[in-house]
Amino acid sequence: MHTPSEEKNDDSKDRFYEELEQVFDHFPKYYMKLLLGDFNTKLGTEAIFKRTVGNDSINQGTIGNGFRIANFATSKILVLKNLMFPHQNIYK
């Protein structure tokens, strides 16, 4: 399964997130579930997603697919961990 990129139509993105939700909900409820992947997103640090995304995004704001994965993560009480840690610019 692969996340449609930003330029794909909304129908394909909707189908992807519907299928993701079905697969995610199919697994038994354990203390912890890990969902790994590249979701073709840009997430910012908007206050509405602070508990899910954190404060250390490298992007100025969230766009299309970012809202989709942040909404999914929020609805499933997940945390997007790669954005919870400060990024360092190694090219300074």
Q: What is the pLDDT of residue 90?
A: 53
Q: What is the pLDDT of residue 21?
A: 94
Going residue by residue through the chain, which has 92 residues, state the pLDDT in tens, using 9 for 90 and above.
678 888 899 999 999 999 999 999 998 887 788 888 888 788 887 888 888 877 767 777 888 888 898 899 899 988 887 655 565 555 55
Contacts of 40 (CB under 8 A, 6+ apart): 3, 4, 5, 6, 65
Q: What is the pLDDT of residue 77?
A: 87
Q: Cα-flanking dihedrals φ and ψ of residue 81, to 5°?
A: -70, -35
Give the whole-angstrom CA distance, residue 67 versus residue 53: 11
Q: pTM of this prediction? A: 0.75
